[in-house]
Amino acid sequence: MDVQEVQTADEWEDIVSRCFVPLSCLSFEECFYGRMEHLRIDDRLTVSSVESAGHSAERTARTARHADGDDLHLSLQLGSTGLVAQNERSVRVGPGSVTSYATDQAYYLDYSPPSQRQLIIQVSRSSLGIPNRLIDESCRRLLVPSNASTRTLFAHASALRSAVPLATPSGVDELAEATRDLAATMIRSSFTASEVLPQTPAALLATIEEHLRHHAADPELSLDSVAHRHYISRRKLYLLFERNDTTPADFLRRTRLRIGERMLRDEDDPVADVAVRAGFSDPTTFARAFRREYGATPREYRDLHAPRIPAHSAA
């Protein structure tokens, strides 16, 4: 992964042009800073985490006409607000907004408010394997509806930053294939109200994992219902998780334990309430599972890790 930090506007223009496509930066917040974590997965796919002070930039029509690629930008706005414009259409973005725009056409980005953060997937449209008309319409809309597919794609993209450096060459190829499959699924799902599922096993596994994370706090969540929702058998569900040397039940249990662990650190609700809110059927089951995972009971863990409020000395 290429990590760059800069303190000047000129350096930032050079970095974003090198990591993405040539851009002209138009204005900058005073005392500018920028940080780019750029991960090239293959020649047709990159994932970048971007933090910067306020600025604006454009891809001019003249520059776009000389584009030597067919890349899309799928961008998740994580912090602050902004505006994305292309083809005489503009949309305002805030935390959670996802946009889709083409780099072989002119576009304008107004990220002038401070504390900007984006997660950006740059992917070749021809590598997605879906009709061009869907991609063109997605870019005309600019704003991608928020749904399970958008959550899955960007959760997967965020995890790539730690997964790719540890993967074998064949593993990297599989991660790239899954990312493209999830990107195509996100675009296809934005045009229908029915369920759209990815086609590759790794992408389907990522989809199911995100579903389990999103619904983990529901104590009624069952593995049979998860398999049914994703149009697979219970056996196929277990075979998918075998790819990561685990089971869906174990994945769900660990997810619920992480939810409970965060609440024990950050909140002061009774342990019984934490157990229910984390998706456990009863406090005893939660306490036993928690002790096996963390080596302490929930109350002991809270005593060790909850933030302390410093006592004020008497005047």
Distance of alpha carbon 67 from alpha carbon 8, whole angstroms: 26
271 shares a domain with 125: no
Confirm whether 209 is domain-assigned: no
Q: What is the pLDDT of residue 194?
A: 84
196 shares a domain with 60: yes
64 shares a domain with 95: yes
Residue span of the structural domain in which 272 resides:
216-308
Number of Cα atoms under 13 Å in the Cβ half of residue 143: 13
Confirm whether 313 is domain-assigned: no
263 shares a domain with 192: no
Distance of alpha carbon 20 from alpha carbon 237, whole angstroms: 37
- Does the structure show a pLDDT above 60 at 78? yes
Confirm whether 103 is domain-assigned: yes
Confirm whether 194 is domain-assigned: yes
3-state SS assignment for residue 202: helix
Confirm whether 148 is domain-assigned: yes
Give residue-wise pLDDT tens across range 147-183: 999 999 999 999 998 999 989 999 999 999 999 999 9
Distance of alpha carbon 50 from alpha carbon 270, whole angstroms: 39
- Does the structure show a pLDDT above 80 at 222? yes
Give residue-wise pLDDT tens across range 224-283: 999 999 999 999 999 999 999 999 999 999 999 999 999 999 999 999 999 999 999 999
Whether the model clears a pTM of 0.75, i.e. scores above it, the answer is yes
110 shares a domain with 10: yes
Confirm whether 68 is domain-assigned: yes
| Domain stop point among 200, 226, 255 | 200
CATH number at residue 294: 1.10.10.60
Confirm whether 184 is domain-assigned: yes
235 shares a domain with 193: no
Q: Name the phi and psi angles at 57, rounded to 5.
A: -155, 160
